[in-house]
Amino acid sequence: MDAVARKMLPQQVRNLIRPEVYLARRGVQKLRQLTGQSGRLPDFLLLGAQKAGTTTLYDLIMRHPGTAPARTKEISYFDRFHNWGADWYRSNFPSGPGLTGEATPCYLFVPEAARRIADTLPQTTRFVILLRNPVDRAISHYFHERRLGYERLPLAEALEAEPARTGQEAAVLLGRRHEHRTQGQSFAYVGRGRYAEQLERYFALFPRENFLIETSDRFFAEPRAVLAEVHAFLGLADHAPPPVRPRNVGVYAGRVAPEITAHLADTFRNDNARLADLLNGPLPW
């Protein structure tokens, strides 16, 4: 759904038509594949995390004259649409010159995605990762699911229900089958913020030097500096970007109780310590 439609249509209407638009876009790629319009595998992936600025960063990367964007920023091949096959995945990318890649935030979180990526992409593939304070990320994620119409529980109850929702029932679809969304993906407010274990899966499969890991705190504070580092990491000449306009910024419907924020901070304490050790440095949060 393009930006104009998002502004003109009420949220409830957008929630109803989003699954059909989602599937239609991927169906167009299926047609390109069947008519021989197959591209190539990506040079890089922006793995996540969700609600950490990946859409904004991907947009800026793709404004570089040495890049060629995927037909859809978030392809979701390695998590939701893997059964559509590698030829379909290739059809999402251009066949001509220019560095190309995609940005699907679920790739960092979904365990199967890492192995599928290693089985499909070469060892030279580059990975860019943005990490956000997991407390802020969890709260933003919750209100995102509320806007989409998936989450109906109050925040405290949703956090309490997370283990049951994302455990044995994680594979149950949420009612919009065309999106291939699961409870495990949608309601993992805390789970998605356990970054160390997610990174370790990738470090076991690809060389550590293949990863550029930055925080959304620094990205939005120093976008020019972070983008220059991304360009250098991807082997692109430095290129001055236009002014940064954050994309997909969430709006919180109501005040978050301080005791919930404190509870989340305590929940992530050990995970943050593990992450700091893994990245060999202090975290901004």
**CB 82, CB 116: distance < 8 Å:** yes
Structure confidence at residue 168 as a pLDDT band (50, 70, 90): low
Q: Give the tokens for residue 130.
A: 């943005």
**CB 51, CB 250: distance < 8 Å:** yes
Closest by Cα among 121, 105, 114 to 47: 105
**Tens-place pLDDT, residues 204-216:** 999 999 999 999 9
Give the right CATH number for 39-74+96-279 from 3.40.225.10, 2.40.50.140, 3.40.50.300, 3.40.50.10600. Answer: 3.40.50.300
130 vs 81, higher pLDDT: 130
Is the Cα dihedral 173, 135, 219, 236 positive or negative? negative
Residue pointed to by tokens 């993906």: 185
**Tens-place pLDDT, residues 258-281:** 999 999 999 999 999 999 999 999
Structure confidence at residue 181 as a pLDDT band (50, 70, 90): confident
**Tens-place pLDDT, residues 71-128:** 889 999 999 889 989 988 998 999 889 999 999 999 999 999 999 999 999 999 999 9
